[in-house]
Structure formats: C-alpha cells, structure tokens
Amino acid sequence: MKKLVAIGSTAMITLGALVGSTTVAQARTKTPIRIKTFCDARKPVAEPKQISFACADDNYGATGITWQHWGRLNAIGKGQVYINLCEPTCVEDGMRTYPAQFVATKVRKGLFTKVVVIYNGKRPHTADTDSVDLS
C-alpha cells in the first residue's frame, strides 16, 4: 500500500508541474488543440466529456471527464474509466468503472495523440497507470 501512496503522490506532483501557473481560462483562449473522442472521429473536440480508447468494441474508455487544464502541450482531467475485462468472456462480463486522472500529451497536427490514465484507488489490474495511443 505504501508503494501505491508514493506513486499517487508522485503523480500529483507531476500533474502540478505539468499545469504550472496557467489558468484553465487562459489555456482555453489561446489553445486550439483537440482530441479524437472515437477512433474515426472526423471532428475532434476540445475538452470532451467522453473518450473511447477501444476502436473495435468500445470496451475501454473514459467518461464523466472534467478538465482542470487544457493547454498547448498537455491537458489534465479526471473522471471514470470504463472497461470490460472479459472475465470469463466479454459477453458474460459487463462494464466496470474506476476513478482516474487523465493526462493528454504528444501533440501532432493539432491533436493530442496519447493519454496516460492514472488510476485513483481501485483499478482493473495491478498497474497504476495505462498509456493509450490515439494516433
């Protein structure tokens, strides 16, 4: 448990360092960076409330996202991860939710292409974080 607390504290320090002193209002007015909310999204959006991480079946994603920071280099939010762990099978299992923080990074052509998921407390597996490629 001490390891998880230490990692959580480090994540919070890292999140604070990423945000710096820029306010959300300042970031919104200066930043046209967007993110795809689904794999084939033709109209990426800024500060989405939901993002799908699994193109084929939407069995993994984020919902209820509120963004504390939306900048030119990164965005930081919190919400819920939804995931079907497929135990024992995808049909028999249902969606489960886990509280998490999200850090969007790696801007390419005006889009965030990577989201790091930092689980808060309960998590779907032993890792504290996931890294999702949205490119």
Question: Sign (positive/negative) of CA torsion 40, 44, 48, 49?
Answer: negative
Higher pLDDT, 22 or 127: 127
pLDDT score recorded for residue 32: 65
Please state whether the predicted TM-score (pTM) of the whole model is above 0.85: no
Question: Sign (positive/negative) of CA torsion 95, 107, 109, 46?
Answer: positive
- 111-119 vs 34-35, strand pairing mode: parallel
Model confidence pLDDT, tens digit, residues 23-61? 444 444 455 689 888 876 678 999 999 999 887 788 899
pLDDT score recorded for residue 69: 97
pLDDT score recorded for residue 48: 94
Spans of all domains in the chain: 2-133
